[in-house]
Structure formats: C-alpha cells, structure tokens
C-alpha cells in the first residue's frame, strides 16, 4: 500500500502521547478512492483464510470494512458502542480505551454472529489492541471463529500485535508506524 | 431502487412506535453490494447539484455515504456524536432523538466544513428529521451551502421532510414508507 504510506507521510499529524491524526483522509474526513483501494488490498490478503463475514466496530472501522466486504462479496456487521433499545439477544463486552482513558460497552446482536461464522475483523487502527480484544471476546462468546484481523494503520510501538498474536489468526496491517518520536512519522 | 424496496419488504421488521428494523442489511449487518447500488443511485440523482463534499453522521450513515463519495469522487466527512479530545476548531450542535428519547451533541471539525463547501448530506433514515436539522445547523455555522439531502429510507408518516423542505435543498429518498400500521410495511 504505497499510496496509503505516502498519504500518511503527507497528511498525517503527530500529537503528544503517541497520537497520529489521520482525520483528513481516514477517520473524520475520508477519501473514498483510497478506502476502495484499502478494501481491495484486504480482500486479496485475506482471500486464503476464507471468511464468510466481516466484522468491525463503529464508527471509523465502517468505511474500510464495507469496502472490504464489497470486494469479498461478504456481509459486514459493525459492533455498536451503545446498546440500542431495539436490540434483542445482544452479546456485550467492555473495552478500555487508552487514548480516551475510559471504558465503554460494545454490543452485537447474536442474530449476526453465530457458531457458523468465520470472521474477518477490520479496523482503522491497531494501537494497544483493546478494541480488537473486545471483538475477539464477542466472537468467542458467540462460538464463532476468528480467521483474520486487518488494520489500516498499526502503531507498532504500542504493541497491540503481541496481545493478538496468541489468538492464532492472521494479522495484516497496511501501514506500520515504528515510532512518532520528535513529532516525526517513522514508517516501517 | 426496486432492489432496495424488495429487500425492505423481505427483511424489514416492524416494531411498536413506528420503528422499522432493517438491521440485517442496512444499519447493523450491512449488504455491501446493496450499499454500492445505493451509492451509485445517489451519485446519479445528485450529479446536477454539483456538491464538492459529502457529509453524514456516525455510525449508520457512513456506509451509504462512503459509497456515494466513491461514485462521485468526492471526500466524505462524518459528524461525530462525541467530541474527541484531539479535535480542535470544532463546530457543535445538539440533536434530539425521538426514537431514543434523549439529546446528544454532534461535532465536526471546521477544517473539513468551510464557506467554500457545497454539501450533499447522506443518511440511512429520514424520520422526524432531527439529525438532518442538526447537520444543517453545522453547515450554516460554517457558512457552507447545503445542496442536497439523500436518505436510504424515509418514514413519510413521521413528517421529517416537511421540516427540511424550507431549506430549499433537493431531497431524495430511495424508499419511502407510507406507514407501518398493523405491523405491515406499506411502501409508496
């Protein structure tokens, strides 16, 4: 994903505490052509693990996930950060956000996560891995199988990958940030 | 959008209080092929009003908006329901949700909504029109121009369209529900 890496170097901004802002093209304003390329790339990388469903978490995982689902011709389900009144049969987990220094509940309907499912999880960022761990908990509660995890950007120095590797699923990140020291984006 | 209408009749579910659940293909689990068709349809219907940017609101507006942006080759920005710590120059408005019977704050960065912008707003539902009114308030605060509003599903009996028509922008809904009386979906 050279196009993605170039864009991160060009438009990404570093902030204190290991924060990388990519809100002009990934997670506030979004570039749909780049998102489509991202979806195509994930579809190629994960074809071999044969998922039957894509899962993500609202809100900024939705765009890369729907594009991946489009190219793989698979349904996409997003976990919600609050339980809607009308959701029955919900599975729930708690995620701790380091960036926001708070905990939040994540829910998904059992109707859309079942023991037959082979799940590919897609998200915009892999940082400490907490959101991904929450999603894995939901997948385990449902008796479904995790077959892959795809991240648009991985912040390697926050070591989330270590937490996820024990789960045995393939992990792919399209751009890996080694560090953000001295306000400079160092790509792998 | 015959394909969308057929899908609503086949998979939509009615609940008390005028609630239509389409969470198996629109706003929890999503069908990316249908979303792509929705994006293509919006792109055709709104080509003449020449937007330069698409705006939506998290979370369920993101999928139809990113697909519309893909076909129109335009950036897509989504308003957030909570203000991230790292957002500077935020514009804020308050939206009242009838379905959830609560108010929430909606924010967008001024960096991505400017006086030069011609905005096409895309969302999954037009019900009472409150989310759309909030977005219009943000657009007006920024001094931008609203040129169109596209909704995947309009619940005509909740009369949100009346609230929006005074703004003068073109309104397009791909499927219009006349009523949900007696637990039956009545399409226009």
Residue recorded with tokens 């795809």: A150
Sort out which chain A residues have CB atoms less than 8 A from B99's CB and list them: 85
Q: Which of B30, B75, B87 sits opposite A31 (nearest CB)?
A: B75
CB A49 within 8 A of CB A120: yes
Residues of A engaging B, defined by a Cβ cutoff of 8 Å: 15, 19, 21, 23-25, 28-33, 35-36, 58-59, 62-63, 66-67, 69-70, 73-78, 80, 84-87, 99-100, 108-109, 111-112
Instruction: For residue A187, give the 3-state DSSP assignment.
Output: strand
CA B185 to chain centre: 20
Query: What's the rounded mean pLDDT across residues B51-61?
Result: 97
pLDDT confidence of residue A152: 98
Residue B82 banded pLDDT, cuts 50, 70, 90: confident
Whether pLDDT at B11 is above 80: yes
Rounded (to 5) percent helix, strand, coil in chain A: 35, 35, 30
Distance from CA of B29 to the nearest CA of A (A): 4
Interface test with B, best of A25, A30, A33, A35 (most B CBs within 10 A): A30
A7 backbone dihedrals φ, ψ, rounded to 5°: -65, -40
Query: What's the rounded mean pLDDT across residues A62-87?
Result: 92
Element housing B139 (H / E): helix B130-142
pLDDT confidence of residue B12: 98
State both tokens at A132: 């991904």
Comparing A14-18, A22-26, A107-111, B82-86, the range with the smallest average pLDDT is B82-86
Distance from CA of A136 to the nearest CA of B (A): 17
Interface test with A, best of B14, B17, B26, B30 (most A CBs within 10 A): B30
Helices (H), A46-156: 62-72, 130-142
The strands making up B53-57's β-sheet, listed across from edge to edge, are A29-30, B76-79, B53-57, B118-126, B145-155, B170-179, B186-187
Residue % of chain A over a pLDDT of 90: 87
Domain extent, residue A81, equals 2-187
Whether pLDDT at A33 is above 90: yes
Which tops the pLDDT comparison, B82 or B12? B12
Q: Specify the CATH number for the domain of residue A102.
A: 3.40.50.2020
Sort out which chain B residues have CB atoms less than 8 A from A19's CB and list them: 86
pLDDT confidence of residue A117: 98
Write out pLDDT tens, residues B108-127: 999 999 999 999 999 999 99
State how many domains chain B has: 1
Query: pTM for the complete prediction?
Result: 0.97
* CA A125 vs CA A114, A161, B23: distances in Å: 25, 11, 25
Query: What's the rounded mean pLDDT across residues B3-10?
Result: 98
Task: Inspect the interface and report whether the beta carbons of A29 and B85 lie closer than 8 Å.
Answer: no
DSSP state of A52: S
Write out pLDDT tens, residues A125-183: 999 999 999 999 999 999 999 999 999 999 999 999 999 998 889 999 999 999 999 99
Instruction: For residue B78, give the 3-state DSSP assignment.
Output: strand
pLDDT confidence of residue A122: 98
Task: Inspect the interface and report whether the beta carbons of A28 and B75 lie closer than 8 Å.
Answer: no
Torsion of CA B20, B24, B28, B30, to 10 degrees: -120
Task: Inspect the interface and report whether the beta carbons of B36 and A100 lie closer than 8 Å.
Answer: no
Rounded CA separation B8/A27 (Å): 30
Comparing A1-5, A87-91, B158-162, B173-177, the range with the smallest average pLDDT is A87-91
Strands A76-79 and B102-109: unpaired
Task: Inspect the interface and report whether the beta carbons of A29 and B77 lie closer than 8 Å.
Answer: yes
Query: What's the rounded mean pLDDT across residues B98-111?
Result: 88
Write out pLDDT tens, residues A41-67: 999 999 999 999 999 999 999 999 999
Q: For residue A52, with 0-12 CB atoms within 10 Å meaning exposed, 13-18 middle and 19 or more buried, which class applies?
A: middle
Output the average pLDDT for chain A. 95
CB B174 within 8 A of CB B1: yes
The dihedral built from the CA positions of residue B68, B123, B3 and B177, taken in this order, carries a sign that is negative
Whether pLDDT at A85 is above 90: no
pLDDT confidence of residue A170: 96
Distance from CA of B168 to the nearest CA of A (A): 25
Instruction: For residue B12, give the 3-state DSSP assignment.
Output: coil
Q: Which of A26, A111, A128 is nearest to A75 (CA)?
A: A111
pLDDT confidence of residue A101: 80
pLDDT confidence of residue A173: 98
pLDDT confidence of residue B116: 97
Whether pLDDT at B87 is above 90: no
């Amino acid at each position: 994903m050279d196009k993605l890496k170039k864009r991160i170097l060009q438009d990404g901004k570093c902030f204190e505490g290991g924060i990388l802002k990519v809100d002009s093209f990934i997670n506030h304003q979004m570039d749909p052509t780049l998102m489509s390329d991202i979806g195509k790339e994930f579809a190629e990388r994960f074809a071999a693990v044969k998922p039957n469903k894509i899962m993500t978490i609202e809100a900024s995982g939705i765009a890369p996930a729907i594009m991946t689902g489009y190219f793989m011709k698979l349904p996409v389900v997003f976990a919600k950060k609050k339980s809607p009144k009308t959701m029955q049969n919900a599975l729930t987990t708690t995620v701790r956000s380091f960036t926001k220094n708070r905990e939040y509940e994540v829910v998904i309907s059992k109707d859309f996560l079942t023991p037959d499912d082979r799940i590919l999880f897609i998200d915009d960022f892999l940082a400490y891995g907490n959101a991904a761990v929450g999603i894995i908990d939901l997948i385990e509660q449902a008796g479904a199988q995790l077959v892959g995890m795809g991240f648009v950007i991985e912040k390697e120095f926050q070591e989330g990958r270590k937490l996820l590797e024990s789960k045995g699923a393939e992990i792919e990140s399209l751009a890996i940030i080694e560090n953000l020291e001295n306000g400079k984006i160092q790509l792998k």
